[in-house]
Every structure is written in C-alpha cells, then in structure tokens.
C-alpha cells in the first residue's frame, strides 16, 4: 500500500475516533501541533545523491514540455484586395443567369408502386418516411411491419399520405400495411390471417382507374415454430385468387412469398408459377430481392389488365435484408413537371411539384 493511501486511512480513523469521542464521550481538546500531526503523511524529498544519480542517467527532466511541441509564433497571412467593391451591382448578363429547364422523365408521369419487407417499421421509421418521399411513391405495400398501434403506423407517413395497417394479433412480428397518397380514394379495406399467410386488400381509385391491391406475407413457421406445409399455402392462395374474380378493378398482388423463384428447379417455385399461369397472372420481378440472392418479394398483375410493364419493374435499395421493389403503373398522374436550375457548369435537381395549368408557370420564373 502506498504512503499516501496509508496516510489517508490514518487520517480517516483519527477523524472517526474524534467524532465518536465527541458524540459519545467527554469533550476533548487538542493543540495545534496535535492537529497538524493528524494530517496525511507528507511526501519525503529524495536524498541529494539519489537525485544526482537520476540526472547522470538522463532520467530527470528540468523543463515542462509543450503539448504540441515547441511553441512557434506564426504570422497570419493577410490577403489584400486592391479592388474596391462597386457600390452598385453590375448590370445583369442574360448569358450568365441561371435558367429553369423542364426535365423529361416519362416514368414521373405514371403512378409509382413499391413493396418492401421492413422487418419492423418502428426502428427505421425515418428511413422509410424519407424513402417514400424521395422516390415519389404513390402506393406502397409493406410486409413484416411489426406495427402494434396507430402511433407507430403514423411515424412512417410523409405529409399527404395515409396508411391502412393489419397488425398480427396477440403475437409479435408479422403485420402487413399499405401506404398511399391522400388523393387516392380507398374503399373496401379488409384483412385476415390464414393458416399459411396474412394479408390486407382493398380498392384504390385514382382518377378513373380502379385497382384492387393485395399485400401478402407468407412466413415459414406458425406461432408454435412449426414449419407450415407449402401445400397448405397453395390451397389457401388459390382460394384467395378465386375470390378476386368478384372484385372490380385491375389486380395487383405483392408481398414476401418466401419462394425461390430464381431457381426453376425448385418444386415449390414451379408449383407457384403454375398457379399464376392458371389464373392468367404475370410475375414481374426478375432479379434477386434478398441478401441471399433469392427472389422472394414479388409484384404480380393480371395479364389482361396491362397495368405493369416488365421493363418498368426494378429492385432498389435494401430496406432490411430485403430490397425494395418498384414498378411504374400504366396510370397517368396529374401534370407533374419536375424542374431543375442549370448553368453552364452544374445543375441542381428540384423536387417535382404539381402544376394544373402550365400557362401560369411563367409567373414563377424570373
């Protein structure tokens, strides 16, 4: 034990003894010297011969060093501009002015549809909100939302959007939802949980086009962690498809189906594709949608509806270990004109805004 620690303990016990005596026994008095002796033991100075030996060995240091080395006085350079600033701004040169130029993007004039498996919207609500806004998504199906209340559902909504959610009751995980713009009319929303999958569906009408959208999530196992036979899913899925005959509007099926459609030799994948063909349905996603390299997340439409073009469907960024899948629908938007400001050296893309009368646009351009 070091000398300073021993001194501290010695002082502590002396003070404790003093307090005990003062509280329980007679009052005692101490002289100044006695009180000074109660202080911690002072460090002793090294003998002169020991200090000389340290100096000879080069282990002693006489001067304090600077934190960043030797201090140097550096002059601060001053740049002098001999030209005075003109009191009046120079006349404008039209060739140097920024110009507003319309951007031609045919896909921006169509409704944008998206699906992704979020694996909980609660821990990435900000990312989802930004993604929906930046990608200008009009309708978005989300699986594995983990949503349990409306508060967590509203957290992913940009301004001008609404949501219909179907949480998984009495269990964590799962859940499906549809996010959409408020100018899209929604009706006949219903949801359910079958033995092999959970879903939410409804009619979505934009202008004169009515679409019936179904979002499906097929888990591998049930609540008891037992694997669900694929035959059960195929039977229940065909029942759901048969019910769609009664629904008006163009059909979109989307979701995480957990089949490896990128493997044609997989018997479950072949069976699933056979069911789609029997019901005149097209599967539009052609590449991997999962980190494992498998195609699990799908966008499906009725062949006769001509609603989605295969060339307009693509995989985007990872929202979890699943990628977001985006497709442009053959449904025209209102006149949406994106603009950018450009000069000879650079350009700045601006967020698209809605213009109902382009003839009045000149009032906003200087």
pLDDT tens digits along 298-335: 999 999 999 998 788 999 999 999 999 999 999 998 75
| pLDDT given at position 340 | 45
Per-residue DSSP letters for 100-119? EEE---GGGGEEEEEEEE-S
DSSP 5: H
| pLDDT given at position 16 | 72
Q: Which burial class, exposed, middle or buried, applies to 233 when counting CB atoms under 10 A from its CB (0-12, 13-18, 19+)? A: buried
To which residue do tokens 């001053």 refer? 78
Q: Do 253 and 175 share a domain, yes or no?
A: yes
Round to the nearest angstrom and report the end-to-end CA distance of the chain. Answer: 82
Q: Do 28 and 167 share a domain, yes or no?
A: no
Whole-number Å distance between alpha carbons of 47 and 295: 81
Tell me if residue 349 falls in helix, strand or coil.
Answer: strand
366 lies in some domain: no
99 lies in some domain: no
55 lies in some domain: no
Domain that holds residue 19: 1-39
Whole-number Å distance between alpha carbons of 146 and 139: 19
Who's near 193: CB < 8 A, 6+ residues apart?
Answer: 168, 169, 199
Q: Do 6 and 116 share a domain, yes or no?
A: no
Q: Do 19 and 111 share a domain, yes or no?
A: no
Q: Do 228 and 321 share a domain, yes or no?
A: yes
Q: Which burial class, exposed, middle or buried, applies to 329 when counting CB atoms under 10 A from its CB (0-12, 13-18, 19+)? A: buried
189 lies in some domain: yes
To which residue do tokens 């100044």 refer? 32
Q: Do 9 and 130 share a domain, yes or no?
A: no
Q: Do 11 and 128 share a domain, yes or no?
A: no
In the sheet that 198-206 helps form, which strands lie side by side, from edge to edge? 185-193, 198-206, 209-217, 250-256, 297-302, 281-283
Q: How many CB atoms lie within 10 A of CB 196?
A: 20
233 lies in some domain: yes
Q: Do 294 and 200 share a domain, yes or no?
A: yes
Q: Do 198 and 299 share a domain, yes or no?
A: yes
With a cut of 50, list the residues of the chain below it in pLDDT. 84, 86, 100-104, 337-366
Contact predicate 137/130, CB 8 Å: no
What CATH number does residue 180 fall under? 3.60.10.10
Q: Do 110 and 16 share a domain, yes or no?
A: no
| pLDDT given at position 346 | 45
**Count: domains in the chain:** 2
Whole-number Å distance between alpha carbons of 120 and 313: 24
Q: Do 12 and 142 share a domain, yes or no?
A: no
């Amino acid at each position: 034990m070091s000398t300073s620690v021993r001194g501290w303990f010695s002082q502590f016990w002396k003070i404790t003894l003093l307090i005990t005596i003062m509280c329980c026994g007679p009052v005692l008095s101490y002289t100044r010297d006695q009180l000074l002796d109660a202080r911690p033991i002072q460090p002793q100075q090294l003998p002169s011969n020991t200090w000389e030996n340290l100096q000879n060995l080069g282990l002693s240091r006489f001067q304090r060093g600077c934190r960043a080395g030797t201090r140097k006085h550096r002059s601060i350079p001053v740049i002098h501009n001999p030209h005075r600033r003109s009191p009046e701004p120079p006349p404008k040169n039209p060739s140097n002015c920024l110009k507003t130029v319309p951007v031609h993007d045919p896909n921006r004039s169509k409704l944008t549809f998206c699906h992704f498996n979020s694996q909980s919207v609660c821990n990435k609500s900000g990312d989802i909100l930004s993604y929906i806004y930046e990608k200008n998504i009009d309708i978005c199906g989300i699986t594995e939302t983990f949503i349990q209340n409306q508060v967590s559902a509203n957290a992913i909504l940009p301004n001008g959007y609404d949501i219909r959610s179907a949480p998984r009751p009495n269990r964590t995980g799962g859940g499906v939802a549809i996010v959409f713009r408020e100018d899209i009319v929604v009706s006949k929303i219903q949801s359910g949980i079958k033995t092999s999958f959970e879903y939410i569906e409804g009619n979505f009408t934009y202008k004169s086009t009515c679409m019936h959208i179904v979002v499906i999530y097929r888990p591998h196992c049930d609540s008891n962690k037992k694997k669900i036979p694929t035959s059960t899913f195929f039977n229940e899925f065909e029942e759901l498809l048969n019910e769609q005959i009664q629904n008006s509007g163009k059909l979109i099926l989307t979701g995480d189906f957990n089949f490896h459609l990128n493997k044609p030799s997989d018997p479950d994948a072949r069976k699933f594709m056979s069911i789609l063909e029997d019901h005149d349905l097209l599967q539009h996603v052609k590449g991997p949608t999962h980190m494992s390299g498998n195609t699990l997340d799908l966008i499906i439409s009725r062949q006769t509806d001509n609603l989605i073009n295969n060339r307009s469907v693509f995989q985007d960024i990872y929202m979890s270990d699943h990628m977001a899948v985006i497709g442009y629908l053959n449904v025209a938007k209102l006149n949406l004109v994106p603009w950018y400001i450009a000069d000879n050296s650079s350009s700045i893309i601006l967020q698209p805004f809605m213009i109902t009368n382009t003839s009045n646009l000149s009032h906003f351009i200087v």
